[in-house]
Amino acid sequence: MTRSKQAEFWREQLAEAVRGYDHPIRVMEVCGSHTNVIAQAGLRSLLPEKVRLISGPGCPVCVSGAGFIEEARKAGSLPGVTLMIFGDLLHIPGASLERKTLAETVCAEVIYSPEEALEYALSHPERQVVLAAVGFDPTLSATAGVLADAEERKLKNFSLLSDFKRLRPVLDLLASGEGDDGLSGFLLPGHVAAVCGEAGFAGLRIPGVISGFEPENILHSLLRLLKLIGAGKGSVENNYGQVVYPRGNPVALELIERFFEPAPSVWRGFGEVAGAGWSLRPEWRGFDAFARWGIARIQAAESPLCRCGEVLRGTLSPEKCGLFGRQCTPEHPVGACMVSSEGSCQAAYRYREVGAA
Amino acid sequence: MCVALPMKIMEVDADKHAVVEFDGVQRRISLRLLPDAAAGDFVLIHAGYAIEKLDEGKAVEQLRLLEELKAGLDL
Amino acid sequence: MNGKVITLAHGGGGRLQNELIAEEIVPRFGTGALRGLPDAARVPGGEELLVTTDSFVVTPRFFPGGDIGKLAVIGTVNDLLVAGGIPRYLTLSLILEDGFSREELGRILDSVKATAVECGVEIVTGDTKVVPRGAADGIYLNTAGIGVRNPALELGRSRFAAGDRLLVSGGVGEHGFTILAVRHGIATPGLKSDCAPLTNVVGAALAAAGNSVKFMRDATRGGVGGVISEIIGDSFDARLDGESLPRSGAVRTLEKMFGIESWFSACEGRLVMVADAAGAGAILEAWKKLECGRLAADLGELSPGEGRMVVSGGWGGGRLLTLPSGEQMPRIC
């Protein structure tokens, strides 16, 4: 089947699913990778008029905000410390007046796996390694794996500066929205679900469909979601069964549980939300970079012009922000959403639509 | 980051690591989160860790579901 | 002679430098115009000349499919070829860091020589400088290339017309992703740099439909997207088909791993050509017969516009392809 026939097929199916619905339907995706695939493939153009697919807070770097950049900068500026980060953190504007990024001020090593930080610490016993990490369940579980290794090897020169986020409490918050901000359903993140399982999303107030990342899989998931909404069924369905299981990955969950506990956390756009973050359990304070280096949590003031918070909450679409594409572009971003590889504004800008080709 | 890729385990070593391969790209990754994985398994790799095993039966079923959905269309 | 490394003394213009040149340069390049080491080479002329220059700072210096020496020759040769020239002569300047391994220098120069022979060009003059440790990273190469105009090619933007096709001569991103993979310890048995002279590619296109060829540029840093953006200037748009960008399986996997789009991934042996629609098909067919051209493809067309690159993803509408803000892959060539 040619691509245009496929597109036609999905357009019809999606329209059919909401025929008879006379008011707008707002559904939300909460995963940076979904944000990107949807924008790059132009999937929104296949949705019927009355359905709005909103990008929510699926970008961990964005919801952590500029404060984390400042905390990482403090660590990286300490003598004898090698700061190791994922590349995404390198170009996020900080909270200082000049909004300098980590790339501009501090020598941070970019890694693609938290294991690289472990290996560096092992091979450079004279250096103190600080792994600065943000993310959801997949990165969290990989980091828990690294901590298990660090503990086994009794590593003394390794510590973690983290701001991992826990999605579920924020989903519950979003699901309880009313009126114009009310949501009818979620497209749920497939790789978070690979770790936490279908169980991680049980009991959501509005329907959700767990989805993978190929365009057709996403379209299929959206179709299933619209059908659930149309039928008034508040359940969660799994459309990524080859990788998402009812109970997720028990080994990963156990490791997370061993090293981390849910804690209140500030999410940009939401304020402090109970249980929406993870902190190292007290018995692992030895690996806590905040404690080891006396780094205080910094509640940074973002640029007063920046409306990332509203974008993350889903109440403002990127194109409607007055700074979008003008003062705020990936070359000179005002906020994280425009420069993070998972940011909604970045996706909207990079893949912005023009007239049909 | 959510970015994760399915890759095939070529060999498992004694150190809870494996060499995985996909389309001519090879990596050494950790099986710390998936200790029962074996050579021949397809696994989802995230940040250098295998986080879940691919159920090939389910993958095939997924494709079949899609085909059924599109059945009866003019090709 | 003076052991295994380059020292500052080798750049001093004295005995040690003479010995270095006698041992490393003359044996490899000392026939022809370079014989006797004149200050400037005399080369036969009388035709319209093309001149280009380039510098090479790639790291790692050796990578699957090539090395900095091979790259230096090919990069220069390709610039001349796509500008409508027949490459003839190269200059070769070396900037060496104090402490650089003589053995590695030898390997790099061997590669320069072998590649020059393969490309049919002669190294006619050069220079060697040595800088203190830390002032350079190992070795930097600079070249100038001289060629004569190829009378079979009539290239020019003034010939552009709406409906002209944008062709790429092979799979993209292979150089960039090979380097990135090496840097991050990812093995790529299925991938190597596409670093190669474009002589056969240009020749095949000329033979197939020479009159249809309007313009060419080799895609290096900034990849195919970077080159198309330069080509269209501000009087045309490029309407591109996202599905048609040719990449090997390994490149597609690495795109996902690194989160980098292949429109802007570095190549070192690919060109983008503007050809009229009548001849495009024949050119592509000719390229596909070449080993390096297996994935050659038609990327889209020129349309009247203002310098935008519009990519259709196939699912809906078109999106604007914008140049990435920074250095996606530093020191890639």
* Yes or no, beta carbons of C308 and A330 under 8 Å apart: no
* Yes or no, beta carbons of C308 and A356 under 8 Å apart: no
Task: Say yes or no to pLDDT of A17 above 90.
Answer: yes
**pLDDT value for C331:** 64
Query: Does the residue B48 lie in any domain?
Result: yes
From chain A, the residues in CB contact with C324 under 8 A are 330
Cβ of residue C47 closer than 8 Å to a chain A Cβ: no
Banded model confidence at residue A6, pLDDT cuts 50, 70, 90: confident
Cβ of residue B34 closer than 8 Å to a chain A Cβ: yes
Mutation pick from B2, B55, B68 vs chain A, by most beta carbons of A within 10 Å, is B2
Burial bucket for residue A320 (CB in 10 Å: 0-12, 13-18, 19+): exposed
Q: Are strands A128-135 and A158-164 parallel, antiparallel or unpaired?
A: parallel
Which CATH number goes with the domain that contains B38?
A: 2.30.30.140
Contacts of C among chains (3+ CB pairs under 8 A): A, B
**pLDDT value for B75:** 44
Taking CA atoms, A237 is separated from A210, A346, B55, in Å, by 6, 29, 17
**pLDDT value for A167:** 97
- Minimal Cα–Cα distance from C71 to chain B, Å? 23
Q: How many residues does chain A have?
A: 357
* Yes or no, beta carbons of C250 and B5 under 8 Å apart: no
pLDDT in tens, chain C (333 residues): 445 899 888 877 778 888 888 899 889 988 877 777 777 777 777 778 999 999 999 999 999 999 999 999 999 999 999 999 999 999 999 999 999 999 999 999 999 999 999 999 999 999 999 999 999 999 999 999 999 998 888 888 999 999 999 999 999 999 999 999 998 888 999 899 999 999 999 999 999 999 999 999 999 888 999 999 999 998 999 999 988 999 999 999 998 888 788 999 999 999 999 999 999 999 999 999 999 999 999 999 999 999 999 998 667 667 888 877 665 555 666
**pLDDT value for C17:** 83
Banded model confidence at residue A356, pLDDT cuts 50, 70, 90: very low
Cβ of residue B8 closer than 8 Å to a chain A Cβ: no
* Yes or no, beta carbons of B24 and C185 under 8 Å apart: no
Cβ of residue C312 closer than 8 Å to a chain A Cβ: yes
Compare all CA atoms of chain A with the CA of C186 and give the residue at the minimum distance: A112
Domain count within chain B: 1
* Yes or no, beta carbons of B26 and C189 under 8 Å apart: yes
| CA gap C236, C233 in Å, rounded | 7
**pLDDT value for C1:** 43
Cβ of residue A353 closer than 8 Å to a chain C Cβ: yes
| CA gap C126, A107 in Å, rounded | 37
For residues C189 and C249, the answer to whether their CB atoms sit within 8 Å is no
Task: Say yes or no to pLDDT of A184 above 90.
Answer: yes
Nearest to C319 among A4, A329, A353 (CB): A353
CATH number of C8-149: 3.30.1330.10
Compare all CA atoms of chain C with the CA of B48 and give the residue at the minimum distance: C257
pLDDT digit string (tens) for A209-221? Answer: 999 999 999 999 9
Cβ of residue C256 closer than 8 Å to a chain B Cβ: yes
**pLDDT value for C320:** 85
Cβ of residue A91 closer than 8 Å to a chain C Cβ: yes
**pLDDT value for C201:** 97
pLDDT digit string (tens) for A329-345? Answer: 988 889 999 988 889 99
Q: What residues make up the domain containing B35?
A: 5-70
Mutation pick from A1, A222, A350 vs chain C, by most beta carbons of C within 10 Å, is A350
Task: Say yes or no to pLDDT of B1 above 50.
Answer: no
Mutation pick from C253, C256, C262 vs chain B, by most beta carbons of B within 10 Å, is C253
Of the candidates C259, C253, C263, C264, the one whose C-alpha atom is nearest the C-alpha of residue A36 is C259
Task: Say yes or no to pLDDT of B2 above 70.
Answer: no
C152 residue type, one letter: A
* Yes or no, beta carbons of A115 and B1 under 8 Å apart: no
Nearest to A142 among B47, B73, B75 (CB): B47
φ, ψ of residue C85 in degrees (nearest 5): -115, 165
Nearest to C254 among B1, B25, B28 (CB): B25
**pLDDT value for B69:** 82
Cβ of residue C316 closer than 8 Å to a chain B Cβ: no
**pLDDT value for A273:** 96
Query: Does the residue B75 lie in any domain?
Result: no
Write down the domain spans for chain C. Answer: 8-149, 157-320
Burial per residue of C289-311, b for 16 or more beta-carbon CB atoms within 10 angstroms, e otherwise: eeebbebbbbbbbbbebeebbbb
pLDDT digit string (tens) for A233-257? Answer: 889 999 999 999 999 999 999 999 9
* Yes or no, beta carbons of B47 and A139 under 8 Å apart: yes
Query: Does the residue B27 lie in any domain?
Result: yes
**pLDDT value for B65:** 83
Tokens for A275?
């249980």
Q: Please state, for a pLDDT cut of 90, what percent of chain A lies above it.
A: 75
| CA gap B66, A52 in Å, rounded | 24
Mean pLDDT over all residues of chain A? 92
What residues 177-216 of chain C have any CB closer than 8 A to a CB of chain A?
184
From chain B, the residues in CB contact with C190 under 8 A are 23-25
- Minimal Cα–Cα distance from A43 to chain C, Å? 6
Cβ of residue A113 closer than 8 Å to a chain C Cβ: no
Compare all CA atoms of chain C with the CA of A332 and give the residue at the minimum distance: C325
Compare all CA atoms of chain A with the CA of C317 and give the residue at the minimum distance: A356
**What is the pTM assigned to this prediction?**
0.88
Domains of chain A: 1-298 (3.40.50.11740), 308-348 (no CATH)
From chain A, the residues in CB contact with B54 under 8 A are 242-243
CATH number of C157-320: 3.90.650.10
Query: Does the residue B39 lie in any domain?
Result: yes
DSSP secondary structure code for residue C21 in this structure: I
Contact partners, residue A55, CB within 8 Å, separation at least 6: A28, A29, A35, A38, A311, A314, A318, A344, A347, A348
* Yes or no, beta carbons of B24 and C190 under 8 Å apart: yes
| CA gap A59, C316 in Å, rounded | 25
| CA gap A269, A311 in Å, rounded | 8
Cβ of residue C259 closer than 8 Å to a chain A Cβ: yes
- Minimal Cα–Cα distance from B19 to chain C, Å? 10
